[in-house]
Chain A
Amino acid sequence: MKFLALILANLKRKKVRTALTIGSFASALFLFGLLIATRNAFTGGVEVAGADRLIVINRVSLIQPLPIAYRDRILQVPRVTAVTFASWFGGVYQDERNFFPQFAIDPATWRAMYPEFLVADAEWDEFMKDRQAAIAGESTAKRFGWKVGDRIPIRGTYLPGVWEFNLRGIYRGSRPEDDTTQFWLRRDYLEENGPAWFKGLVGWYVVKVANPDDAPGVIAAIDERFANSPWETKTETEKSFATAFVKQIGNIEFLILSIGAVVFFTLLLVTGNTMAIAVRERTSELAVLKTVGFGDTLVLWLVLGESLFLAFIGGTLGVLAAKAVAPHLSSFMYGANVFLPASNLALGIVLALIAGALAAALPALSAMRLKVVEALRRV
C-alpha cells in the first residue's frame, strides 16, 4: 500500500545494512530448514507408518529370523487381511559408504501391502517375470544414476558372494515423506542361490489388519499363537516400531531444538540491535513525520513494517536455499530421506516474521513513544 514506498525508501538508505540484515535472516532460516530436514530424515519413518500395518519380529532379537511357515498361521488370525515378509540383505554396492536398505521381498504379496509406493504396472510385471530382478526407489536410483535395465552388482555380507540384479523398475513415493531409498530384490532368487541356512527363514513379517482399531487385539493374538515356541514373536504397530527406533537415536529432537533456539536467539539479538541503531539514527525524521501528522501507532507500524519486510525476504531466501541443499545431505546420513515439505517452509517463514516483529518491538515502541518536542530540540 501507499506506505510501502516509505518503508522501502528507508531500507534503501543504508543498502549494506539492509543486505546484511536480510543475510542474517536468510542464514538463520537456512539453518532452520536444514535442521528440520535432518529431523524429518530421522523421524520420517514414524510419519509414514501405516496405521493398519503391524511388524512381527523374533522376540529374542531383531536380527533373529522367523520361520516362513508362520505366514499361513498368521493369516488365520481373525481381522488379518494380508501378510507379507522380507529379509534384510545388507549388501555393499561398490563402497561401504554407499549405504541403502536392501530387502529380499515376496513379490506376490509385497506390492499390495504398501500402496503408498508407486510402481508402473509394466515395470512390476517385468519384476514378476525375472527372478534376478530388482526394483529401486527413486532417490537411490538418482543417487547412483541408475536406469531401468541396468545390471546392479552387490556384494553380499550375510549371504556371501557378488550378486547381480537386473533393475526392472523404479518406485516413487506418493507423499514427499515416503522413503524412496529402498532396494527390493526377490527372496526366491536368494533361496535358490544362497546358503542352506537361508531357506525357510524370513527376517520379519508385515501384517495388514482390517481396521487400525483391531491392532491391539491382533497383536495379542499373534504373539500368543507363537508363545513358548522355539521362535517366539514380538508384534507391534509399524508406528511404534519406528518410534522405538527413533528413540534409540536419542535426544535428536532436543538437540535440534536447542540448536534452533540458540540460532533464533542470536538472530533476534543481531536484528534487534540493527533495528535499534537504525531507529536511533532517524529520531529527527520520525519526529518530522509526527509533526506532519503521522500518529504514534502509524510510526510504530512503519518501524515494524521495515523489520517484517526484511524478515520476509530473508526468511524466504533462507528456506528456499535449505530446500535446495537438503537432499544433498543424504549421502552423509546413510542415504536417509532428507526432505522439506511445503508446510515446513511455511512454518519457517512464519517464524522469521515473528522474529522480525520481536526484534523490532523495542525500537518500534520507542519510536511510538517519541516526544516530538524533545526530538526536535535535539536537532
Chain B
Amino acid sequence: MVKIDGTSNGNSLIRVRNLGKAYQRGSQELRVLQGLNLDIEKGDFVAFMGPSGSGKTTLLNLLGGLDVPTEGSVSVAGEEITAMSAHRLTAWRARHVGFVFQMYNLIPVLTAFQNVELPLLLTKLSKADRRHHVDTALGLVGLAGRTGHFPRQLSGGEEQRVAIARAFVTDPTFLLCDEPTGDLDRKSAEEIMELIDRLVHEYGKTVLMVTHDPRAAERAHAVLHLDKGTLIEGTGKTA
C-alpha cells in the first residue's frame, strides 16, 4: 500500500518523511523538492510522473542514496539511509538497490555477462557462484544465448534487458527505474514492461519507476505525480 500523507501503518519498506532538496545556483536557491512524504510496502510497483524539471530524477536519486537531501529523512527496511556516511551508503546501495537507466549505461568494453557480473564483484561469492547468478539473471530476461556479446552487438531492447538483469542479479531490496522505456521503440518498450511486470508479480520485487510513458505507467499499482516539489495522487490505483 502506497501512502503520501506521512501516516503509515508501520509496514513500510520505504519510508520518506518531509523530504526536501534545494540547489544553490550562484546567489539563488533553487528548490526542487519540498516536504515530501512517502510510504511504500514490499511488492509495490509505483510510477512517478510529472513535467520536465519537476524533480522526478532527483527523488529517485535520493531514494537510491545517490544524493543527500537538504531536509528530511529516508528509511529503507528500517535503516535511515540519510544518516549514513558516504562509505556505508555505498555498501548499502550495492546490497539494497538496483538501478535501471534510460540510456542503459552498460560498459561498452564488457560483454553482457561481464556487465551483469559487475555488482557481484563486490561480494565474496566465488567465481562459480557468480557465474550461476549471472546465467540465471540473463536467462530470466531472455538473453541466455547472448552472454558473450558486447553492447554494440545488441539492440536497444536487448541492452536494456541486460541492464535490468544487472539491476536484480544481487537480489536487491528494491529497483529504481529512470525512464526505462524512454529510448526504445513501441515493441521493445512493451517487452521491457512485460519483464518488469513479471519481476513484480512472479518474484515479488518492489519497483519504483519514473516515466513519461502513460502505457508504462498503466502497469503500476499506483501512479504519483510530482508537482511543485511534492507528491499528489494521480489516476490509477492507490491506497
Contact = CB atoms under 8 A, between A and B. Distances in A.
Q: Are A and B subunits of one complex?
A: yes
Interface string A288-321: 1111111110100000000000000000000000
Q: Which applies to chain B's interface (DSSP): helix, strand, loop or mixed?
A: helix
Interface in A1-37: 2-3, 5-6, 9-10, 12-13
Interface stretch (B44-52, B59-67, B71-79, B231-239): B59-67
B64 A293 contact: no
Contact of A292 (B61, B103, B109, B118): B118
16 contacts: A3-B121, A9-B109, A9-B110, A13-B109, A284-B105, A285-B105, A289-B118, A290-B90, A292-B166, A294-B90, A294-B94, A295-B90, A296-B86, A373-B66, A373-B67, A379-B103
Given A2-B127, A3-B121, A373-B61, A291 B87 contact: no
A295 B90 CA distance: 6
Contact of B91 (A12, A288, A290, A295): A295
B66 A372 contact: yes
Given A2-B121, A10-B109, A296-B86, A291 B127 contact: no
Interface string B105-129: 1011110001000110110000100
A148 interface: no
Interface of A: 2-3, 5-6, 9-10, 12-13, 284-285, 288-296, 298, 372-373, 376, 379
B146 interface: no
Contacts of A372: 66
Given A10-B109, A296-B86, A376 B101 contact: yes
Contacts of B109: 9-10, 12-13
B212 interface: no
Contacts of B127: 2
A5 B117 CA distance: 11
A13 B127 CA distance: 24
Contacts of B94: 292-294
Nearest to B121: A2
Given A10-B109, A293-B91, 10 more contacts: A12-B109, A13-B109, A292-B119, A293-B95, A294-B94, A295-B91, A372-B66, A373-B67, A376-B101, A379-B105
A6 B43 CA distance: 34
B119 A293 contact: yes
